[in-house]
Amino acid sequence: MCLVALAFRHHPDYPLVVVANRDEYYDRPAQVARFWDDHPHILGGRDDEAGGTWFGVDRRGRWATVTNYRGGALGANARSRGDLPVNFLRAASTPATYAASVLAEAHRFRGFSLLAGTPEHLVYCTNQNASVQTLEPGIYT
């Protein structure tokens, strides 16, 4: 199970504190966090099979992470959930606008939860109930 815990704008000296794990198949190849050659503004680990990430941040302070729900009927036709954080970091849209666009395509992915944020804004969306929530400063798990 992938887990994320974070403190968003909860401490005056640390606007964002994130603790996360990548709980994928142990034999699935991945790269450690680094700036990417093909997108040098993105810092994150990288899934070598699908090319996405489970957590990434860019030089502007935008960041995104995705966790998964096992199962789903899409099988091999499902799009990679790891594209969700990458596409946010490549876009110029606000977190809320991006999350709404993700939900329009949510049926193409197996189960996921996505957090996308900037230093000022944070949203959560999931295709389990097709909703977008704006999160206020606080601690979340």
Calculate what percentage of the chain has a pLDDT beyond 90. Answer: 77
CA nearest neighbour of 124 among 90, 84, 91: 84
- Sketch the domain layout of the chain as residue ranges: 29-136
Q: Among candidates 47, 66, 69, which has minimal Cα distance to 55? A: 66
Examine the pLDDT at 23 and tell me if it is beyond 80: no
Looking at residue 74, what is its pLDDT?
A: 67
Is the pLDDT higher at 55 or at 23? 55
- Residue 44, phi then psi, degrees to nearest 5: 180, 165
Model's pTM, two decimal places? 0.92
Is residue 14 very low, low, confident or very high in pLDDT (cuts 50, 70, 90)?
very high
For every residue of 66-129, which 3-state class applies, written as one string? EEECCCCCCHHHCECCCHHHHHHHHCCCCHHHHHHHHHHCHHHECCEEEEEECCCCEEEEECCC
The per-residue pLDDT for range 102-131, each reduced to its tens digit, is 999 998 998 899 999 999 999 999 998 888
SS3 2: coil
